[in-house]
Amino acid sequence: MTERTSAPTGNSRFHWMIIAAVLALILTGCSDGPSQSVSLSGSSTVAPLAQALGSAFEARHQGIEVDVQAGGSSRGINDAVTELVDIGMASRALRPDDPPLNSYTIAHDGITLITHRDNPVTSLSTEAVQRIYRGETTNWQELGGPDRPIVVVHKAEGRSTLELFLEHFKLNNRQVEPDVVIGGNHQGIKTVAGNRGAIGYVSIGTAQYEADQGAAIRLLPMGGITPTFENVAEGRFPLTRPLNLLVKGTPQEWEKAFIDFARSAEARDHVLSHFFVPANPARR
């Protein structure tokens, strides 16, 4: 006896149409979301610039998502070498004892001392800074200022700003007696702006930007040189550093595209808007 296959009923055809429609919606929804991502972590100095560059990069490349997290240059180096992120960020040059990474400079910056805007002490010698951070000078009156305790603001371990500050002023971190330990530049600026007796050190670019926005801070000269964009650009300021993107091995397609964009002429306005000095696109 021959078996016959029944033709689909009207109800079954309707059910199949619903299933097909749902599948089409799912596939359409998936195609609208980011299909690729580029992740970065590290330097709190580089992070705001990287976020601005990331937004511009996303606008140019639909379907690409750029995720930026801060945490310090040491985190950027570690995350890049362990490949927890695609690109690390470091606000210093790599050293011989650092893990092997490819480094791409996107800008240059300096490190400046900052005090409260109302503090009448407008400059400090190297020896005065050393004595403050070693806890030997504890009142601004000893430096020609008001009778006010000095509040020493110091960076946390793992920050390149800390390492470069200690190196420049020939201080050992064990000698430093901080009153406040901070992480990123914005936290340091907020701390100093909120305390008339405070002194700290942060990125020149970030400090200049925040001062222009009304933050109650004063940028102090170093070695008689004013901490300005122009002096960093001309190489006159004594404490400067490169802002780098780091990759383990050869950058992959979207990593390379983002690095190339960050070093291009199109990124220049973003670099300048953060008061950093653009790097030569050909420089590595």
CA pair distance 151, 183, nearest whole angstrom = 16
Q: What's the CA gap between 259 and 87, in Å, rounded?
A: 9
Tokens coding 126: 């190297």
Give exposure, 3-31, as e/b (b: 16+ Cβ within 10 Å). eeeeeeeeeeeeeeeeeeeeeeeeeeeee
Asked if pLDDT for residue 10 goes beyond 90, the answer is: no
- Predicted confidence at residue 151, as pLDDT, reads 98
- C-beta neighbour count of 166 within 10 angstroms: 17
Rounded-to-integer distance, Cα 247 and Cα 102, Å: 5
Q: Which of 156, 202, 163 has its CA nearest to residue 183?
A: 156
pLDDT at 24: 47
Block residue for tokens 């940028």:
219
Using only the alpha carbons of the chain, give its radius of gyration.
26
Q: What is the DSSP letter of 94?
A: -
Is a pLDDT exceeding 70 seen at residue 92? Answer: yes
Mean pLDDT of 269-280: 89
> What does pTM read for this prediction?
0.77
Residue 49: per-residue pLDDT = 95
pLDDT digit string, tens, across residues 109-164: 999 999 999 999 999 999 999 999 999 999 999 999 999 999 999 998 888 899 99
- pLDDT greater than 60 at residue 247: yes
Mean pLDDT of the chain: 88
> Which is more confidently placed, 194 or 25?
194
Please tell me the chain's helix, strand, coil percentages from 3-state DSSP, rounded to the nearest 5. Answer: 40, 25, 40
User: What's the full length of the chain, in residues?
Assistant: 284
> In the chain, what percentage of residues exceed pLDDT 90?
76
Q: Is the pLDDT of residue 192 over 70?
A: yes
| Pair 124, 223: CB distance under 8 Å | no
Does 27 score more than 90 pLDDT?
no
Q: Which one has a higher pLDDT value, 125 or 9?
A: 125
What is the distance between the alpha carbons of residues 260 and 134, in angstroms, rounded to a whole number?
43
The pLDDT of residue 158 is: 81
Give me the pLDDT at residue 3, please. Answer: 43
Query: Residues 102-106: what's their mean pLDDT?
Result: 96
